[in-house]
Amino acid sequence: MSALESKGVIPILKGYIEAGKPFMGICVGLQALFAGSDESPSTPGLGILQGQITRFSSADKAVPHIGWNNAAFRDSEDEFSEIYGLRGSSKYYYVHSYAAQFSPENTRLLDDWHVATGRYGDEEFIGAIAHRKFHQLATQFHPEKSGKAGLRVLRAFLYDLPLDSTELSVAEAKPVETSQGGLTNRVIACLDVRTNDEGDLVVTKGDQYDVREKSGDKQVRNLGKPVELAERYYLEGADEITFLNITSFRNCPLADLPMLGVLRQTAERVFVPLTIGGGIKEFMDPDGTKHSALDVTTRYFQSGADKVSIGSDAVIAVEEYLARGKTLTGKTSIETIAATYGNQAVVVSVDPKRIYVHSPSDTPHHTIRISRPGPNGEQYAWYQCTIRGGREGRDLDVRQLVRGVEAMGAGEILLNCMDQDGTNEGYDLELIRDVKEAVGIPVIASSGAGKVEHFWEAFVEGHADAALAAGVFHRKEGIFLAKFEMTNSKCQFGMSRSIWQRKDWLFEWINLPDERRIRHRRAVIRSIIFR
């Protein structure tokens, strides 16, 4: 709003919308229609709608609210209306800390509008509003990142479908909801990308961060091309795609970084959120031109990324923060990026390794009691933060790191564990639980997924907000194997009920020999109703 005000366009914009001209607002584009927001109390909104935008309560859930949730236009308790292609049975991608709460008071104030809501914990919030007469729609979620369901909404708006023709009752069952209201469990496919010995940019995957083959000439493992694999995982139902650039591009100006091209091409084909990590820090061109971490981020965002993931730089920033007696400078990469793009744009990737001890008194660091004892029977471990892709251990534990980066404004933690990485033995649940207890922001479990039950454990036993995996997907086991919904404490495989209902057929297909499976892939993708 401040930016709009400084350009003097607020009266023009307000006049345009009030005149009933076509308008679509996304995310803050919905929030700006209201009178104001607690996020910036001194800056008024457009005031087209009464009411205030408020922050989600973090008493019982992680904030920001990140992931797939509903936006259902309700006719009655059980009936949903389909307006602008929005379906009560579909899920849409949200990422925000502030929202328009849905209450009897603001319902009365929104008489001219159809209101679609979602639920996060015990809070009901406005997910979308559509004017009853004018061609105007605003969504709190991101239709451009909501896969097929979101593209349907964009199409309905752009092709100006009259409301009447889209207003039909949808006889689909209610979606299965998690304990967090309508929010689903996110499954994220991760692509570690680096240049191989021939200089090509490839997707690779290590075992405990070692990405070279164990035999022969010990080449960097080449698992395929980044854009093609990202598209494949999107089509197979990944909720998000994360690229980790695990190589540094030397002698390359920022504007020519190969990952920018990868992101641009991916964003043209993949309509779920894209995170990019690796090298988010101050960058120097070969000619000596310096770019801040914020400049680097801006380049990535302009190329199609939605979030950046910061590793080494976050560790150094927290060490300095602790040395200063926990005072913030406002100058770290986390703080500058969060201030410019919002907390939800900043993920901190943690690369810890276990240091085993016999007793918590053996170290000044925070320890965790571990169920798998260390090599000498140790019952405890502290989790040491590392930098430079795990090559250098620091005198900082994970708890210090995550609390520090949360104070700086990080919106999410990507929690790897070097000991589990590539093992297929399951996530480090003790570590995940410990980090969940330490912070109020969402935590993505990572490292060690080898089968579907591991995802279930991360969500149910680890209380993770999302689960990321790499190797299990690269082995072509099909991402839909990892996606599941929980009903009555049961683990159901598949992307949605429609897939669950066809599970026997799907499992049969998965067991086909590789070449037949590939031949059938197109037909399968066409027949799957993703959301």
User: Which parts of this chain interact with ligand 1PR (CB under 6 A)?
Assistant: 190, 192, 205-206, 209, 211, 244, 246, 277-280, 309-313, 349, 351, 389, 416, 421-422, 446-449, 469-472
Which three-class secondary structure string do you get for 300-338?
Answer: HHHCCCCEEEECHHHHHHHHHHHHCCCCCCCCCHHHHHH
Residue of 351, 412, 419, 428 marked active site: 351
Catalytic, 75? Answer no
* Residue 65 DSSP SS3: strand
- How many H-runs (helices) and E-runs (strands) does the chain carry? 18, 28
For ligand 1PR, the closer of residues 82 and 412 by Cβ is: 412
H or E stretch including 384? strand 380-387
Of 28 and 190, CB closest to ligand 1PR: 190
Closest by CA position to 247, among listed 323, 191, 329: 191
First to last CA, the chain: 34
- DSSP lists the bridge partners of residue 120 as 123
Q: Tell me, yes or no, if 358 is annotated catalytic.
A: no
- Tell me which amino acid residue 458 is: A
172 is catalytic: no
Please report how close the Cβ of residue 288 comes to ligand 1PR at its closest, in angstroms.
21
Nearer to ligand 1PR, 244 or 355 (CB): 244
Which residue in the list 142, 291, 454, 474 is annotated as catalytic?
A: 142
Which run of H or E residues covers position 412?
Answer: strand 412-415
Query: Which of residues 209 and 383 has its CB atom nearest to ligand 1PR in the complex?
Result: 209
Helices in 90-146 by DSSP H: which ranges? 104-109
- Provide, rounded to whole angstroms, the least separation between the CB of residue 275 and ligand 1PR: 10
CB 56 within 8 A of CB 31: no
Nearest-approach distance from CB 525 to ligand 1PR, in angstroms: 23
Cβ(261)–Cβ(404) below 8 Å = no
Distance between CA 140 and CA 29 in Å, rounded? 8
Residue number, 192 or 397, with CB nearest to ligand 1PR:
192
Closest contact distance (angstroms) between CB of 399 and ligand 1PR is: 18
142 labelled catalytic: yes
Q: Which of 65, 82, 123, 192 is catalytic?
A: 192
Q: How far apart are alpha carbons 215 and 196 in whole angstroms?
A: 16
Beta-sheet pairing, 380-387 with 392-397: antiparallel
Q: How distant, in Å, are the alpha carbons of 105, 291, 336 from that of 295?
A: 43, 6, 10
Strand, coil or helix: 287: coil
Closest CB 218 distance from ligand 1PR, rounded Å: 14
CB of 212 to ligand 1PR, least distance (A): 10
Q: How far is the CB of 511 from ligand 1PR (least distance, A)?
A: 22
The residue among 25 and 277 lying less far from ligand 1PR, judged by its C-beta, is 277
Minimum separation from the CB atom of position 261 to ligand 1PR (A): 19
Paired sense of beta strands 466-469 and 186-195, if any: parallel
Angle between helices 258-269 and 226-235 (to 10 degrees): 30
Residue 356, Cβ density class (10 Å: 0-12 exposed, 13-18 middle, ≥19 buried): middle
Cis-peptide, bond into residue 22, ω within 30° of zero:
no
Catalytic-labelled residue, pool 82, 123, 144, 457: 144
Instruction: Name which of 82 and 419 has its Cβ closer to ligand 1PR.
Output: 419
Cβ proximity to ligand 1PR: between 80 and 300 the closer is 300
User: Which active-site residues does the annotation give?
Assistant: 27, 142, 144, 192, 351
